């Protein structure tokens, strides 16, 4: 598995296309960096860049972007909007006067914040290390002050971006002189053209804006209801792990409740959106969709879809349809088109990739099975047959659901189809997993055994390889066990016109379990752990017996149906 870190630097320039493009090119030019998104904001005078790569690559990409920004961004001429009667370059609300003062996005420096986020094959500690390496090198090469935040910070009062950014660029000249605000890296002095940079490690943050057909003051009022800190210690907001403010997006002519969802599992987009809709209704304000800035995790989109599926009692199981539902319910196309292929991070980085066998055409797979090679073999074939068996049962479910003739069975099909379909999906990666496990065992056999240490290392590798070779077909058996009961129920009530399809499906699944059982058995012989062997044999034998009984029951039910 590739080691992937995401980096989302925010640069204080959102209007000058030449500068924005130059920073993008500097990042993209680093070998191993994939620039996924560039999101400039004219109103906020800020551009968010999103790129991924190995830990080493993303650090270099961030540094390259900072080097270019040092040449092209001058904070002494960084423009601010002047609104209301109070002229300010910060965004805050004066609760005493109920007057909103809004300028560009709050910022501390030219490269304002530079977070590193774990995506795949890396830990949060790896990202902390990225932040520290970046901070140290940026301070050394560019001579800039760098503060650490999030998981990279060990100081409680310097854990969050708002804590460090308090006072903003304009207050930094005095703030940086104080001992408690000495930077983690670089000089404790104000650099007028740069300011300071905040680097850290964090979980995936979703920058999520909800569109309001109203004023910036009204949007900010809604934001105060939602954000964790609310209006102060005595009036906390409703959402946990949420930062927020209101502003006006000039280019779209709408106000926005601008939120940072710091943990989408605790407070998701749907929670924020629905809360905002309810509050807006009380104020007689219209909500006009929402906007995701940058990328979003697939899981966050699916959690949103699942919320609306449950709320509206919908029956949607396909991932693509769930994504479409989430886009529609949140109104994610309201500002700019939301393309899942370019906005969902897993789709961008290829996190979900098919293995080589699954990627073959059916003809190629059969040719591969029939070649002069022991892999792929019976284990991969069993997994493929199991997937086809579950797929046929799923098909019968779909041919029953939504059919006027079987309309009375819709609620039962809603229960039966999901486990059948999920099993079908679960079997697919097992096709490659079985061959990979066998390959791992064969690689272990090639290890040297000239010394006692090498022999011990080789034996351990062989035992690990054999366990893997057992566990994959055992997973085929376990997954098949989950399918039998819904398949029995489907045999009783499913579309009788698809009787032969379900018969083939049941026999296929039984054959797959039989094949997986014998793959388990042959690999158990050389495993030294007798307790493990005894436990696996008992589970595999009982599951095979259950499969044979269930298959017989299904075939009997179908044969007796008219």
Judge whether residue 278 has pLDDT over 50: yes
> What pLDDT shows up at residue 47?
94
Q: Give residue-wise pLDDT tens across range 465-498.
A: 888 888 999 999 999 999 999 999 999 999 999 9
Q: Give residue-wise pLDDT tens across range 77-103.
A: 865 443 332 323 333 333 332 333 334
Q: Of the given ranges (72-76, 97-101, 446-450, 485-489), which has the lowest mean pLDDT? A: 97-101
206-349, which class in CATH? alpha beta
| Residue 64, φ and ψ in degrees, nearest 5 | -65, -40
> What pLDDT shows up at residue 227?
96
Give SS3 for 123.
coil
Question: What average pLDDT score do residues 423-436 get?
Answer: 92
Judge whether residue 70 has pLDDT over 60: yes
- Indicate whether this model's pTM tops 0.85: no
Q: Of the given ranges (49-63, 215-229, 429-443, 481-495), which has the lowest mean pLDDT? A: 429-443
Judge whether residue 445 has pLDDT over 70: yes
Question: What average pLDDT score do residues 251-263 get?
Answer: 94
| Residue 456, φ and ψ in degrees, nearest 5 | -65, -40
Judge whether residue 353 has pLDDT over 60: no
Q: Looking up tokens 């199981």, which residue turns up?
A: 317
Q: Of the given ranges (47-56, 274-283, 344-353, 464-473), which has the lowest mean pLDDT? A: 344-353
Share of the chain above pLDDT 70, in %: 94
* Residue 447 binned pLDDT confidence (cut-offs 50, 70, 90): confident
> What pLDDT shows up at residue 274?
97
In angstroms, rounded to a whole number, what is the distance separating the alpha carbons of residues 297 and 292? 11
Tokens of 88: 């300010």
Q: Looking up tokens 């509050």, which residue turns up?
A: 279
Label each residue of 371-438 as H, E or C.
CCCCCCCHHHHHHHHHHHHHHHHHHHHHHHCCCHHHHHHHHHHHHHHHHHHHHHHHHHHHHHHHHHHH
Judge whether residue 388 has pLDDT over 80: yes
Tokens of 58: 């993303």
In angstroms, rounded to a whole number, what is the distance separating the alpha carbons of residues 142 and 137? 8
- Contacts for 60 with CB less than 8 Å, ≥ 6 apart: 30, 32, 33
Element (H, E) at 148: strand 146-150
> What pLDDT shows up at residue 354?
65
Q: How far is residue 400 CA from its own chain's centroid?
A: 34
Question: What average pLDDT score do residues 367-392 get?
Answer: 93
Contact 213, 182 (CB under 8 A): no
> What pLDDT shows up at residue 234?
93
Contact 342, 327 (CB under 8 A): no
Q: Of the given ranges (256-265, 454-463, 505-514), which has the lowest mean pLDDT? A: 454-463
> What pLDDT shows up at residue 215?
96
In angstroms, rounded to a whole number, what is the distance separating the alpha carbons of residues 433 and 423? 15
- Identical topology for domains 4-78+103-201 and 206-349: no
Contact 262, 215 (CB under 8 A): no
> What pLDDT shows up at residue 79?
56
What are the domain boundaries of the chain?
4-78+103-201, 206-349, 362-560
- Residue of 491, 514, 475, 509 whose CA lies nearest to 560: 491
84: DSSP letter: S
In angstroms, rounded to a whole number, what is the distance separating the alpha carbons of residues 218 and 214? 6
> What pLDDT shows up at residue 467?
84
Question: What average pLDDT score do residues 259-286 get?
Answer: 96
Question: What average pLDDT score do residues 485-513 get?
Answer: 96
Contact 482, 444 (CB under 8 A): no
* Residue 349 binned pLDDT confidence (cut-offs 50, 70, 90): confident
Contact 423, 482 (CB under 8 A): yes
pLDDT, the chain, mean: 90
> What pLDDT shows up at residue 272?
97
In angstroms, rounded to a whole number, what is the distance separating the alpha carbons of residues 448 and 442? 13
Q: Of the given ranges (101-105, 158-162, 234-238, 450-454), which has the lowest mean pLDDT? A: 101-105
Tokens of 476: 């085929």
R_g of the chain computed on alpha carbons: 29
CATH number assigned to the domain with residue range 362-560, chosen from the 4 options 1.20.120.680, 1.10.1330.10, 3.40.630.40, 1.10.3720.10: 1.20.120.680
Catalytic residues: 105, 434
Element (H, E) at 473: helix 452-493
Q: Where are the beta strands (DSSP E) in 156-216?
A: 197-201, 206-213
C-alpha dihedral sign at 293, 298, 300, 302? positive
Element (H, E) at 43: none
In angstroms, rounded to a whole number, what is the distance separating the alpha carbons of residues 58 and 52? 6
In angstroms, rounded to a whole number, what is the distance separating the alpha carbons of residues 524 and 465? 11
In angstroms, rounded to a whole number, what is the distance separating the alpha carbons of residues 535 and 72? 66
Give SS3 for 90.
coil
Element (H, E) at 348: helix 345-349
Question: What average pLDDT score do residues 401-421 get?
Answer: 95
CATH of domain 4-78+103-201: 3.30.990.10
> What pLDDT shows up at residue 42?
85
């Amino acid at each position: 598995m590739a080691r992937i870190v995401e980096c989302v630097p925010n640069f204080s320039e959102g209007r000058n296309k030449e500068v924005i493009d130059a920073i993008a090119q500097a990042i993209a030019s680093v070998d191993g960096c994939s620039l996924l998104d560039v999101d400039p904001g004219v109103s906020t005078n800020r551009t968010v860049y999103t790129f991924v790569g190995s830990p080493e690559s993303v650090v270099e990409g961030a540094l390259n972007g900072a080097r270019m920004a040092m040449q092209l961004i001058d904070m002494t001429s960084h423009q601010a909007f002047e609104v209301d009667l109070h002229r300010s370059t910060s965004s805050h609300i004066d609760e005493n006067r109920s007057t909103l003062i809004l300028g560009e996005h709050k910022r501390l420096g030219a490269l304002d914040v530079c977070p590193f986020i774990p995506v795949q094959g890396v830990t949060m500690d790896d990202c902390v290390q990225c932040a520290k390496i970046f901070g140290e090198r940026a301070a050394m090469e560019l001579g800039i002050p760098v503060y650490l935040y999030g998981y990279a910070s060990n100081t409680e009062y310097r854990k969050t971006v708002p804590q460090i950014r308090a006072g903003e660029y304009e207050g930094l000249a005095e703030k940086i002189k104080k001992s408690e605000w000495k930077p983690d890296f670089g000089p404790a002095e104000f650099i007028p053209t740069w300011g300071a940079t905040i680097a850290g490690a964090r979980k995936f943050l979703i920058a999520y804006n909800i569109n309001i057909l109203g004023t910036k003051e009204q949007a900010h009022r809604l934001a105060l209801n939602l954000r964790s800190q609310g209006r102060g210690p005595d009036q906390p907001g409703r959402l946990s792990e949420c930062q927020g403010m209101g502003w006006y997006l000039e280019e779209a002519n709408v106000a926005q409740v601008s939120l940072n969802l710091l943990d989408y599992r605790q407070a998701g987009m749907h929670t924020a959106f629905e809360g905002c809709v309810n509050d807006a209704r009380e104020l007689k304000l219209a909500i006009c969709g929402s906007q995701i800035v940058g990328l979003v995790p697939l899981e966050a989109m699916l959690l949103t879809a699942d919320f609306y599926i449950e709320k509206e009692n919908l029956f949607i199981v396909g991932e693509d349809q769930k994504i479409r539902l989430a886009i529609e319910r949140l109104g994610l196309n309201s500002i700019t088109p939301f393309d899942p292929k370019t906005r969902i991070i897993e789709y961008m980085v290829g996190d979900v990739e098919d293995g080589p066998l699954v990627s073959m055409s059916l003809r190629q797979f059969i040719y591969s099975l029939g070649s002069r090679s022991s892999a792929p073999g019976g284990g991969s074939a069993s997994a493929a047959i199991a997937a086809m068996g579950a797929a046929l049962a799923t098909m019968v479910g779909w041919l029953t659901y939504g059919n006027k003739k079987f309309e009375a069975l819709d609620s039962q099909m809603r229960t039966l189809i999901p486990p059948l379909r999920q099993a079908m999906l679960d079997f697919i990666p097992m096709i490659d997993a079985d061959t990979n496990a066998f390959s791992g065992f064969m690689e272990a056999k090639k290890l040297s055994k000239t010394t006692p240490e090498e022999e011990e290392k080789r034996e351990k590798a062989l035992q690990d390889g054999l366990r893997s070779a057992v566990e994959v077909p055992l997973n085929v058996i376990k997954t098949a066990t989950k399918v039998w009961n819904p398949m029995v129920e489907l045999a009783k009530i499913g579309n009788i016109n698809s009787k032969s399809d379900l018969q083939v499906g049941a026999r296929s699944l039984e054959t797959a379990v039989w094949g997986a059982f014998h793959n388990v058995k042959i690999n158990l012989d050389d495993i030294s752990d007798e307790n493990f062997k005894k436990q696996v044999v008992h589970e595999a034998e009982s599951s095979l017996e259950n499969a044979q009984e269930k298959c017989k029951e299904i075939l009997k039910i179908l044969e007796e149906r008219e």
